[in-house]
Amino acid sequence: MGRIEVRIGGFGGQGIILMGIVLGKAYAIFEGKEATLTQSFGPEARGGACSAQVVLEDTRVLYPYTTNVDILVVMSQEAYTTYYPKLKDDGILLIEDELVKLDEVKPGQKVYGIPATRIAEEVGRRMVLNIVMLGFLTAVTKVVSRDAMRKAVESSVPSGTEELNLKAFDRGYQYGIEKYGE
């Protein structure tokens, strides 16, 4: 598969960093490949800009930063505006479609949208919108297997919330399959 660069952006409180951790864990630990995570966030505890860069490789990762993003996941308008220019011409863009409005998309790019916040609220807690988005990412990109991602979710979330988070993951995954096919 080679090198896959993933950038996840949003604002503090959406679980952006946890998304990067879970994705890297799924790829490295549960699929036996290599992954690195770098993160950045503003000084605010909640509401400030936040991003995670995950580099996935079959062999050792030699450079841990994203320079030419293959998959961009944005969960706020600011993240879209800031990170979209780094998305490859044939890249994949995943958006929280109730929070992000697109003003441009290059012809070769694929765009997938999900109302992750609304689905998280239906599942029972708005806070699991990041896990809904991970399920969606798994379904539409196939970059990590469903089984590996579920194991990573289950082993990464706070004790006692595993069932809720797996339900959120499954709902996001199902939405991706139903709306965009296998």
Q: What is the pLDDT at residue 108?
A: 95
Q: Where are the beta strands (DSSP E) in 43-133?
A: 49-57, 69-74, 87-96, 110-114
Tokens representing 24?
A: 């890297």
Each residue's pLDDT tens digit, 127-158:
999 999 999 999 999 999 999 999 999 999 99
Q: What is the pLDDT at residue 43?
A: 58
Query: Domain boundaries in the chain?
Result: 4-180
Domain 4-180 CATH class label = alpha beta
Q: Residue 129, exposed/middle/buried by CB under 10 A (0-12, 13-18, 19+)?
A: buried
Q: Alpha-carbon distance 19 to 162, whole Å?
A: 15
Q: What is the pLDDT at residue 181?
A: 80
Q: What is the pLDDT at residue 42?
A: 64
Q: Alpha-carbon distance 143 to 134, whole Å?
A: 11
26-48 in b/e burial notation, b at 16+ Cβ within 10 A?
A: bbbebbebbbbbeeeeeeeeeee
- Low-confidence stretches of the chain (pLDDT beneath 70): 1, 42-47, 182
